[in-house]
């Protein structure tokens, strides 16, 4: 009735979608923000969409987590709802407008986490079948020890669901986190071929990784829109006789 539902791989938009995946502490968010800076400097219209960002659904997720009300299925569904809102509001409209959309975590996060929680791999993949297929999906491959050092060094306490405490792997939150993340890594590794994820060796320097990311991204940007603001700036600078 209302236009029909497009499935993964079937959307045709002028925009581009680049996403980053990897376990906590893989450095993917750092890489994404560097990519964003570069794309903006190059004059592209860039739109950043984050995991768990839909204000509408966020409160349900937050409350469900805080009160430990979530089962593997409701955990999966509430995140899919959030992702649905992101897709309909944050991803599809800018893609239609020809923007570059960046996403920190995407459906592959859900596939990894939910399957580790015991949800059927087929079911969760079907659940997210409405997702727009990324132009490039980067997977920041990190050994668990490296990621653990980065995390335990620099942030607040690990949260209940992040550590997979609901799985009852261990009573010790750090140990649970380690076991949970190592299973997540196994799931990511299975998806590299299945979804043609571009694996980046995240043990290398930030600069080396970023150079690789930019090279891969720039190969896919032919014909993508640049901003009017930039054009205006260009003209302005030209008028003032300066170089850009």
Is 4 or 223 the residue whose CB approaches other proteins more closely?
Answer: 4
Q: Report the nearest approach of other proteins to the CB of residue 229 (Å).
A: 28
Would you count residue 88 as binding other proteins (CB under 8 A)? yes
DSSP state string for 80-124: HHHHHHHIIIIIHHHHHTT-EEEEES-HHHHHHHHHHTT--HHHH
Of the listed pieces 38-46, 69-77, 104-112, 168-176, which binds other proteins according to CB under 8 A? Answer: 69-77
Is 32 or 91 the residue whose CB approaches other proteins more closely?
Answer: 91
From the list 23, 39, 46, 57, which residue makes contact with other proteins (rule: CB under 8 A)? Answer: 57
From the list 23, 70, 110, 197, which residue makes contact with other proteins (rule: CB under 8 A)? Answer: 70
Would you count residue 232 as binding other proteins (CB under 8 A)? no
From the list 48, 60, 167, 173, which residue makes contact with other proteins (rule: CB under 8 A)? Answer: 60
- Return all residues near 121 (Cβ < 8 A) that are at least 6 apart: 111, 115
From the list 17, 19, 35, 80, which residue makes contact with other proteins (rule: CB under 8 A)? Answer: 80
From the list 14, 37, 96, 126, which residue makes contact with other proteins (rule: CB under 8 A)? Answer: 126
Residue 185 to residue 74: CA distance in whole angstroms: 23
Please say whether the dihedral angle defined by the alpha carbons of residues 231, 236, 239 and 244, taken in this order, is positive or negative.
negative
In the block, residue with structure tokens 């570059």: 100
Would you count residue 62 as binding other proteins (CB under 8 A)? no
CA 100 remoteness from chain centre? 14
From the list 33, 51, 53, 64, which residue makes contact with other proteins (rule: CB under 8 A)? Answer: 64
Tokens encoding 36: 């964003």
CA distances from 100 to 111, 118, 199, 227 (A): 24, 35, 21, 11
Of 46, 34, 47, 43, nearest to 244 by C-alpha is 43
Residue 158 to residue 180: CA distance in whole angstroms: 12
Contacts with other proteins in 129-158 (CB under 8 A)?
129-130
Residues that bind other proteins (CB under 8 A): 1-5, 7, 54, 56-57, 59-60, 63-64, 69-74, 77-78, 80-81, 84-85, 87-89, 118-120, 122-123, 126-127, 129-130
């Amino acid at each position: 009735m209302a236009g029909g539902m497009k499935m993964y791989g079937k959307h045709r938009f002028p925009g581009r979608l680049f996403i980053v995946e990897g376990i906590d502490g893989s450095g993917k968010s750092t890489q994404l923000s560097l990519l964003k800076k570069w794309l903006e400097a190059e004059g592209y219209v860039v739109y950043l969409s984050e995991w768990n960002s839909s204000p509408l659904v966020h409160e349900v997720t937050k409350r469900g987590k805080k009160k430990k009300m979530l089962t593997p299925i409701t955990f999966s569904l509430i995140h899919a709802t959030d992702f649905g809102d992101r897709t309909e509001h944050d991803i599809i409209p800018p893609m239609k407008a020809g923007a570059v959309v960046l996403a920190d975590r995407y459906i592959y996060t859900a596939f990894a986490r939910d399957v580790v929680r015991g949800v059927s791999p087929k079911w969760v993949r079907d659940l997210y079948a409405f997702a727009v297929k990324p132009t490039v999906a980067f997977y920041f491959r990190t050994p668990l020890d490296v990621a653990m050092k980065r995390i335990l060094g620099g942030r607040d306490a690990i949260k209940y669901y992040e550590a997979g405490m609901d799985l009852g792997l261990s009573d010790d939150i750090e140990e649970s986190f380690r076991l949970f993340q190592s299973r997540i890594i196994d799931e990511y590794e299975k998806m590299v071929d299945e979804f043609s994820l571009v694996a980046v060796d995240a043990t290398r320097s930030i600069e080396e990784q970023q150079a690789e990311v930019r090279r891969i991204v720039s190969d896919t940007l032919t014909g993508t829109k640049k901003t009017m603001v930039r054009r205006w700036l260009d003209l302005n600078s030209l008028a003032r006789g300066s170089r850009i």
